[in-house]
Amino acid sequence: MEKSTQFATEERGEKFFGPPAREPLDKERLSRQVWDSMRNGRFTAQRFFDTGTTKTDSTYKESSRSRSRSRNKVELPEELEGFGEPASKETGENKRDGSSDEGSDGRRDRNREDDSELEKRKRPEDLRSPARIREYHNLRYRSANHGSAPDAVLRIPENFDPNKPFDVVVYNHGFYSTAKSSIPYNNLDNLMRKAPPNTLLILPEWQVSPSAKSSNQGRFSRDNQFRNMLQEVFDKTPELKGKSVNDIAGIHILSHSAGHNAATSELYNNDLGGKVRTVVDLDSQYNPRAYDRWIQNNIDDIARGNKRFYSIGYDKSYATRSLSDRVGDMLRRAGFRKNILRDFKNPLHTLSGSTFRDNSLVFKTSEATLKGRGAHMSMPELYVGEILESLR
């Protein structure tokens, strides 16, 4: 007998998030502010980021004090403080006046050394992370000419070994965001530490006008444009010299909001040789049937757990429900049990990595919030880490 799974997530050890914060007039206003500040060359993380939450074990609680703060202020996680700040002031031997941090007895002043180390940790290229984050400009296979904005951003994990199998996670941002701003805003650098070792993260700048409220992909929707972009990035990266797209063990495509435009181009317009193992829709059902073809073409592998599809909805929760029904019909026609995890009754709960690991099809409504951003803009930081952990 066909059976779909409904469960109370609090009984499965899932996370509970407090009542959803009041939605801002424009749910992506905060993201737009981050981008505008970076575009004008005056981005300072502390200026726009101010946590409204504290983390205790697996529970996030919003304090009354934080709720009284301006909705325009949020804070970067500690691991990413200083991202995008101007380079630190000159210290030590690099001072223009020729002075140094050494005292009259030739010994280095400890206080000045500590200040110097603090400044170093604030440099964008360091990011207080062992991973390397690189920007790529003027790519031949870019969506459009982006000027000073990067055409793609790549994160290389610590101790990356190109001689071992490696996966690629693709993150497609939504409106008012860019490939560059998505990393600090969604805490992606820190979340990628939960991914399996040797996993690369690439963020293509799929929009013609980065951060615009526009679905115009320019050349990104052309046949094999994304595949060629990947190969060009590999060729320009010393750690990946000699590697090709064919060497990728698995590709995992994540889309948030309007990122579904890029995700469908990547899925359907590029010869990726069946390497796509996971597709994640984070409130990105603005084209309700965008993912039906990929699910149908891979229904056997999905039913057997070899590939996975996850859909988390808020604005488009009705589309998530409808898609779950269509996928159930696909499973039935293919002769499989209707084994789908549907969680539409616990919108304030999130799912753990083990839950994603144990289910190849997940459909959920989410109203959980983080840092006062609202449910829609909270989704990447709430779910990406758990999904990456499930890939281990």
- Amino acid identity for residue 383 in this structure: Y
CB 61 within 8 A of CB 54: yes
pLDDT of residue 338: 81
Mean pLDDT in residue range 285-309: 95
Q: Is the pLDDT of residue 19 over 80?
A: no
The tokens describing 285, both together, are 């059902």
Render pLDDT for 179-196 as a digit per residue (tens, 0 to 9): 999 999 999 999 999 999
Residue whose tokens read 């804070």: 75
Return the higher-pLDDT residue of 90 and 268: 268
172 beta partners:
255
- Beta-strand (E) ranges in 100-238? 132-136, 152-156, 166-172, 199-204
CA distance 240 to 243: 5
Domains of the chain: 92-121 (no CATH), 132-390 (3.40.50.1820)
Confidence category of residue 30, pLDDT binned at 50, 70, 90: low
Mean pLDDT in residue range 209-237: 98
Mean pLDDT of the chain: 78
pLDDT of residue 339: 85
Structure letter (DSSP) for residue 92: G
- Amino acid identity for residue 74 in this structure: V
Angle CA(264)–CA(301)–CA(231) in degrees, nearest 5? Answer: 45
Classify strands 199-204 and 341-343 as parallel, antiparallel or unpaired. unpaired
pLDDT of residue 387: 98
Confidence category of residue 243, pLDDT binned at 50, 70, 90: very high
pLDDT of residue 130: 80
Mean pLDDT in residue range 118-125: 44
Return the higher-pLDDT residue of 211 and 317: 211
Cβ contacts of 74 within 8 Å, gap of 6 or more: 30, 48, 49, 50, 51, 52, 371, 372, 373
Mean pLDDT in residue range 239-245: 96
CB 291 within 8 A of CB 309: yes
pLDDT of residue 33: 53
Q: Is the pLDDT of residue 97 over 70?
A: no
pLDDT of residue 291: 97
CB 371 within 8 A of CB 23: no
Mean pLDDT in residue range 334-356: 94
CA distance 154 to 134: 5
Helical axes 225-236 vs 260-268, angle rounded to 10°: 90
Mean pLDDT in residue range 12-32: 46
Structure letter (DSSP) for residue 219: G
Q: Is the pLDDT of residue 102 over 50?
A: no
The tokens describing 297, both together, are 């073409």
Q: Is the pLDDT of residue 371 over 70?
A: yes
Asked which of 90-104, 202-216, 287-301, 361-375 is least confident by mean pLDDT, the reply is 90-104
Q: Is the pLDDT of residue 47 over 50?
A: no
CB 258 within 8 A of CB 174: yes
Mean pLDDT in residue range 328-342: 93
Confidence category of residue 316, pLDDT binned at 50, 70, 90: confident
pLDDT of residue 292: 97
Mean pLDDT in residue range 266-294: 95
- List C-alpha distances in Å: 6 to 61, 129, 345: 26, 39, 8
Q: Is the pLDDT of residue 62 over 60?
A: no
Helical H runs in the chain? 29-39, 45-48, 64-67, 110-121, 182-185, 188-191, 225-236, 260-268, 292-297, 299-303, 317-333, 353-358, 375-390
Provide the 3-class DSSP secondary structure of residue 276: strand
Mean pLDDT in residue range 134-157: 98
Greatest alpha-carbon pair distance for the chain in Å reads 84
CB 337 within 8 A of CB 304: no
CA distance 202 to 131: 13
Confidence category of residue 83, pLDDT binned at 50, 70, 90: very low
Measuring CA to CA, which residue among 2, 6, 8 is closest to residue 348? Answer: 8
CB 256 within 8 A of CB 379: yes
- Amino acid identity for residue 282 in this structure: L
Render pLDDT for 195-209 as a digit per residue (tens, 0 to 9): 999 999 999 999 999
